[in-house]
Structure 1
Amino acid sequence: MTTEKPTAESPWPVRTVARKIADWVHRLGAVWVEGQVTQISARQGNRTAFVTLRDPSADISMTVTCPTRLLSDLEQPLSDGAHIVVHARPNFYVGRGTISLRASEIRPVGVGELLARIERLRKLLAAEGLFAPERKRALPFLPRGVGLITGRASAAEHDVLANAHARWPAVQFTVLNTAVQGPAAVPQIMKALRKLDTDPEVDVIVIARGGGSVEDLLPFSDETLCRAVAAAGTPVVSAIGHEPDSPLLDHVADLRCSTPTDASKRIVPDVAAESARLGELRDRARRALRGWVDRECALLDQLRSRPVLADPKRPLERDSEQVRLCVERARRATLTVLSAEQATVSEARATLTALGPAATLDRGYAVVQFRRENGSLGVLRSVSEAPAGTGLRIRVGDGAVHAVVDDSGE
């Protein structure tokens, strides 16, 4: 075998490339491989059996060859969908240019091991927050369209469609039939999920299946499917199995329903119940409106019955009369005060008049004044103050006269 590096001028032939690939593959040695059986070919009389082993989390398959006795020595015959662990060596067939696994030991994975693996996956997805209540979306009250992923002509399909149409006859369904168990279930369900998720007329997606064994429901605990449901933009309803069944899809979906019948009751409202509720609400609104109108009418009647509204002029007339009486009282009181004050003034004037010098002069008395040497006038009180020749001023009631003393004596 040549060891020179190939070039365009000196390329390797196909047999050389195939042999080199075979050398590399054979160096890998034996490995333990786990997968799901999708096809078994063990013909009577053949020493070699062929098993197609698929990765449940990816669309990848490999062919496993083994002696027929390995399959016949198993306690339970292998069937499609079974999970197995094989100890095998990679083998490259140069003539066909294909790679396969040559198994020397096959171990079926028991239910207990499957449940343990599902539990480990459950903890992983929960730790990532895929089960968190806050990420779950509420379903629309009345969806425009409902996507249904279920088995063909299955009881689950009939239950969902029949009960949903009985509750709301106008609901529109887009039904995609897929395998719901076995190795083809996960790829077909994921394909249908992607198609419905991109449909703008679908507001909610229902994945429905009847009950079954742990192995039958295993596709609905597939990690790839769970992550696809969690990443979907449309709310997803899980209706898998019966009440005791709880695959991981129930925890990832936005709503978990115990049965397909329960799902049909959750995705659409009951037209009869909603009509009855609307009638009840209308009656309540009618009673409330009538009660409010009656209360307001009673209040208006009460307001109209009050005197101030029954005869609005009467209070004005009463107040006007009271104002008139007050004005009259004020006028009389003012006149009384003025009369009293006038009488007081008149009395004081009479007293002043009676006590004043003018009144005394009017009675015949006179006031005699003489002129002092400095020229000022003084009241004459003694004859000694008025010697002969003294000028006098005599004041009487209606005026004054002047006189001169011609003789002074006793």
Structure 2
Amino acid sequence: MTTESTGNTPPTSAENPWPVRTVARKIADWVHRLGVVWVEGQVTQISARPGTQTAFLTLRDPSADVSMTVTCPVRLIRGIEPPLREGASVLVNAKPTFFLGRGTISLRASEIRAVGIGELLARIERLRRLLDAEGLFARERKRRLPFLPKGIGLITGRASAAEHDVLANAHNRWPAAPIQVINTAVQGPTAVPQIRKALSILDADPNIDVIVIARGGGSVEDLLPFSDEALCRAVAAAGTPVVSAIGHEPDTPLLDHVADLRCSTPTDAGKRIVPDVKEETARVHQMRDRARRALHGWVDTQCRLLDQLRSRPVLADPFAPVDRRAEDVELHRERGRRAMLNSLSHEQAAIASARARLTALGPAATMSRGYTVVQYPDAAGNLQVLRSISEVAEGTPLRVRVVDGAIHGTVTSTEPGE
């Protein structure tokens, strides 16, 4: 017995490498330990040639680009009712098998069950509750579509009625609407990966403002890709608003709940992603008319206001207040002049009266009547008025004032009065 058959293979190294057969047997041992498993997937290829006992299927994960080969007896395929077709969802009870000669792994199926409509609907409902609980259906996270997108992305089947409806209605409403179309599979096992890839391309394009995913009507199995969890999460994570236009009015795949806008048909999507150029042109004309009327009304109001201001006395005759004030100034000046003249006249009369009294009381008036004033010098030499003959002696010099001058004399004698 060799070391390989006993399983006591020494550790591998550069000096002691394993041969290919040893590695293959070890992998086979690990695979065979897995035992029998139930696997769910979509059938993408069926090969059951006449005269052969073994059928080959390719089973694919609808949410990922992963597939495996399944082998089974031909009678197992032929015993399935209705007949198994590509794109169908199945449950396979199989045992993983590793083929040493080719170094490949496949599943050896002992039972294949087609997933019925009821089971599909139940799974969709469970997924719907899960996504709803996570908030992917919440109204708050849905975004409004741009009024006039600068670019529209359309994901739909090649040369499909949905593509024609979206393009025709969008261009009828807005002929200049730029639409970038990416054709993908819209049913079957390749639909979800292709739609997700197209979604990522359009979402990364800065010139795309809204993305439309459109498909015509179909059975529950045909519309199954649009209820796929991976696609729903990709739409929810997209940074560009997404419009769902799947099937007809009664069709409601999960994508309708996740998308930012749900349209009942592709025709409805073409009408809602762009405005109607005729309606907008009419609205522009209406707004221009309203603006013109509003402007004319405002101008008329301001003209009336200016006319009212211009008709006011202060603006109709701006010099009138100045003239009135000039008249007031002249009047007050005349009053001041008259008051000043009256005051001067009164003061002049008072001065004249005082002068007359002073004149009457002064010595000049007395001397004009013939009286004189006699003065003599005292001991200090100052002139004193002579009031008595006793104040002077003979020889005293005298100064006699008369009305028109003075006379100097000397006392020669005195004569007492009676």
Provide the TM-score with structure 1 as the length reference. Answer: 0.79
Distance 1:374 1:286 in 2: 115
2:108 is matched with which residue: 93, 97, 102? 102
Indicate if the aligned counterparts of 1:394 and 1:403 stay in contact, CA closer than 8 A: no
Q: How does 1:55-70 map to 2 (within 5 A)?
A: 55-66=61-72
Indicate if the aligned counterparts of 2:393 and 2:411 stay in contact, CA closer than 8 A: no
Q: Which secondary structure state, in structure 2, belongs to the residue aligned with residue 183 of structure 1?
A: coil
1:364 equivalent in alignment to 2:370: yes
Partner residue in 1 for 2:278: 272
Partner residue in 1 for 2:190: 184
Partner residue in 2 for 1:92: 98
Residue 19 to residue 74, structure 1, CA distance change in 2 (3 Å): same
**Structure 1 residue 273 displacement after superposition:** 0.6
Partner residue in 1 for 2:32: 26
Residue 367 to residue 118, structure 1, CA distance change in 2 (3 Å): same
Distance 1:278 1:102 in 2: 69
Q: Which secondary structure state, in structure 2, belongs to the residue aligned with residue 365 of structure 1?
A: coil
Partner residue in 1 for 2:359: 353
Indicate if the aligned counterparts of 2:395 and 2:410 stay in contact, CA closer than 8 A: no
Partner residue in 1 for 2:416: 409
Q: C-alpha deviations, 1:21-67, integer Å up to 9, x for none? A: 32232123333433333344567887655443221221101123345
Partner residue in 2 for 1:119: 129
Distance 1:125 1:299 in 2: 60
Indicate if the aligned counterparts of 2:374 and 2:385 stay in contact, CA closer than 8 A: yes
Residue 306 to residue 113, structure 1, CA distance change in 2 (3 Å): closer
Provide the TM-score with structure 2 as the length reference. Answer: 0.78
Indicate if the aligned counterparts of 2:63 and 2:193 stay in contact, CA closer than 8 A: no
2:344 is matched with which residue: 332, 335, 338? 338
- The gaps in structure 1 that reach 5 residues or longer are none
1:294 equivalent in alignment to 2:300: yes
Q: CA RMSD in A?
A: 4.0
2:149 is matched with which residue: 139, 143, 152? 143
Distance 1:200 1:407 in 2: 148
**Structure 1 residue 206 displacement after superposition:** 0.8
Moved more, 391-400 or 160-169: 391-400
**Structure 1 residue 196 displacement after superposition:** 4.0
Indicate if the aligned counterparts of 2:394 and 2:410 stay in contact, CA closer than 8 A: no
Percent identity, aligned pairs only, is 68
1:163 equivalent in alignment to 2:169: yes
Q: C-alpha deviations, 1:135-194, integer Å up to 9, x for none? A: x65544333443322234544334322322221233343333332223221122123334
Indicate if the aligned counterparts of 1:387 and 1:408 stay in contact, CA closer than 8 A: no
Partner residue in 1 for 2:215: 209
Residue 262 to residue 353, structure 1, CA distance change in 2 (3 Å): farther
Indicate if the aligned counterparts of 1:386 and 1:408 stay in contact, CA closer than 8 A: no
Distance 2:316 2:135 in 1: 79
Q: C-alpha deviations, 1:176-228, integer Å up to 9, x for none? A: 33322232211221233345446676443210124555544332233332344
